[in-house]
């Protein structure tokens, strides 16, 4: 397994485009100053050793030196020893609605992005629990199987969009059914299902499926994302003008939060229903409640030893720095006539 021991230093890479912009500004100012002395072609004849490409090449090399030094400071590591350990935790599956209605912007920046941001923060708080992720629209798919690998969970989370499920709709029942088959067979394990959706179920009997899950000991929490008054659903537009989802009659569809269904599912599943808003999604409140559940021993494989490989990016940085030092800003009079390959004219 690969990781950075000090990932906070990677934020320094934000300066890379800033440094490039500053270099472009400096070069532009320098060119304007040179134009004051005369025509560019005349100046080139007067300064034949001046190179237009070498300063750019030297800057790019220095930029890569900076990048590789930052990577080295962040201490990249590879896991070298996989160890079987026992932890006390629960199994948690999050079923996330990715239908087009989740693009509605009554929750900023939109319902789906707000949900993804909150799930990411929840994953950061997990310690010994296992987590899985199901995405659903007209159908349900396993995005992340039950795992203790929180880094991978966050990585896959960032790639979720409505296009990930080809069939549109909102099949909450299908998501519950898939979740029931996704937990480990361990019977005494505390199992939690968190459904994040706007609640507009059009495809199946979600309440009946929730009853089956409750009979298997699965605790169901529901989070309603959206506002009861609803909001139009924006669609991608090449023109840049806002385009909204319309029904067969040509009227703009208003996606409204269906709290009744979500409250009923949570009640049957012995859990809670929480309505999200622009300040919170509700996962933190659920986390406190879930933390009180009985935690059982879980077998997990983790990397207990890591080998530092920071010397490789640092070594590359030093090599690039030497190359940058060797390359001169100006053309060398003694070397400019050397031809490695003779061309007959």
52-61 long-range contacts (CB < 8 A, ≥24 apart) are 54/327, 54/328, 54/329, 54/330, 54/331, 55/27, 55/329, 57/327, 58/324, 58/327, 58/329, 59/23, 61/320, 61/321, 61/323, 61/324, 61/327
Instruction: Identify the pLDDT of residue 258.
Output: 84
| 84-300 CATH fold | Rossmann fold (3.40.50)
What is the domain partition of the chain in residue ranges?
2-75+310-326, 84-300
Instruction: Identify the pLDDT of residue 201.
Output: 66
Judge residue 16's burial from the number of C-beta atoms within 10 Å of its C-beta, 0-12 exposed, 13-18 middle, 19 or more buried: middle
Instruction: Identify the pLDDT of residue 118.
Output: 87
Instruction: Identify the pLDDT of residue 34.
Output: 65
Instruction: Identify the pLDDT of residue 340.
Output: 41
Instruction: Identify the pLDDT of residue 69.
Output: 95
Half-sphere exposure of 252 (CA within 13 A, CB side): 11
Instruction: Identify the pLDDT of residue 135.
Output: 95
Judge residue 166's burial from the number of C-beta atoms within 10 Å of its C-beta, 0-12 exposed, 13-18 middle, 19 or more buried: exposed
Instruction: Identify the pLDDT of residue 331.
Output: 56
- Tokens 């199987």 locate to 145
Those residues whose C-beta lies under 8 Å from the C-beta of residue 78, and which sit 6 or more positions away, are: 1, 2, 306, 307, 309
pLDDT by residue, tens only, the chain of 345 residues:
778 888 889 999 999 999 999 989 988 887 777 666 656 665 555 555 566 678 888 899 999 999 999 999 999 988 666 566 566 788 999 999 999 889 999 988 999 999 998 898 888 888 888 899 999 998 999 999 998 888 888 888 888 988 888 888 888 999 999 999 999 887 778 899 999 998 876 667 899 999 999 999 999 999 999 888 888 988 877 766 778 888 888 888 898 888 898 999 999 999 999 988 877 777 777 888 888 887 766 665 655 567 889 999 999 999 999 998 888 766 555 545 544 444 444
**If DSSP states are collapsed to H, E and C, what string results for 105-118?**
CCCCCCHHHHHHHH
Global pTM exceeds 0.75: no
């Amino acid at each position: 397994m690969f990781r950075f021991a000090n990932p906070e230093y990677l934020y320094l890479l934000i300066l890379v485009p800033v440094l490039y912009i500053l270099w472009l500004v400096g070069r532009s100012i320098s060119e304007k100053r040179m134009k004051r002395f005369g025509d560019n072609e005349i100046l080139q004849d007067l300064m034949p050793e001046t190179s237009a490409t070498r300063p750019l090449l030297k800057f790019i090399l220095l930029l890569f030196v900076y990048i590789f030094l930052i990577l080295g400071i962040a201490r990249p590591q590879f896991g070298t020893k996989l160890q079987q350990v026992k932890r006390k935790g629960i199994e948690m599956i999050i079923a996330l609605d990715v239908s087009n209605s989740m693009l509605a912007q009554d929750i900023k920046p939109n319902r789906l992005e707000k949900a993804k941001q909150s799930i990411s923060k929840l994953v950061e708080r997990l310690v010994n629990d296992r987590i899985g992720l199901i995405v659903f629209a007209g159908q349900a798919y396993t995005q992340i199987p039950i795992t203790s690998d929180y880094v991978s969970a966050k990585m896959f989370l960032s790639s979720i969009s409505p296009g990930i499920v080809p069939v549109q709709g909102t099949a909450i029942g299908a998501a519950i059914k898939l979740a029931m088959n996704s937990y480990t067979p361990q019977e005494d394990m505390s199992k939690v299902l968190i459904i994040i959706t706007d609640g507009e179920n059009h495809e199946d009997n979600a309440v009946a499926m929730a009853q089956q899950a409750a009979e298997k000991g699965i605790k169901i929490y529901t989070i309603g994302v959206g506002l009861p008054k609803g909001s139009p659903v924006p669609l991608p537009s090449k023109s840049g003008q806002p385009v909204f989802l319309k029904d067969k009659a040509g009227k703009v569809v208003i996606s409204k939060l269906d709290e009744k269904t979500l409250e009923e599912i949570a009640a049957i599943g012995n859990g809670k229903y929480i309505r999200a808003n622009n300040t919170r999604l509700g996962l933190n409140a659920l986390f406190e409640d879930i933390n009180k559940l009985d935690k059982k021993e879980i077998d997990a494989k983790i990397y207990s030893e890591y080998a530092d490989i920071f010397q490789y990016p640092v070594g590359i940085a030093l090599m690039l720095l030497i190359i940058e030092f060797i390359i001169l800003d100006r053309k060398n009079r003694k070397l400019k006539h050397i031809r490695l390959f003779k061309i007959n004219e």
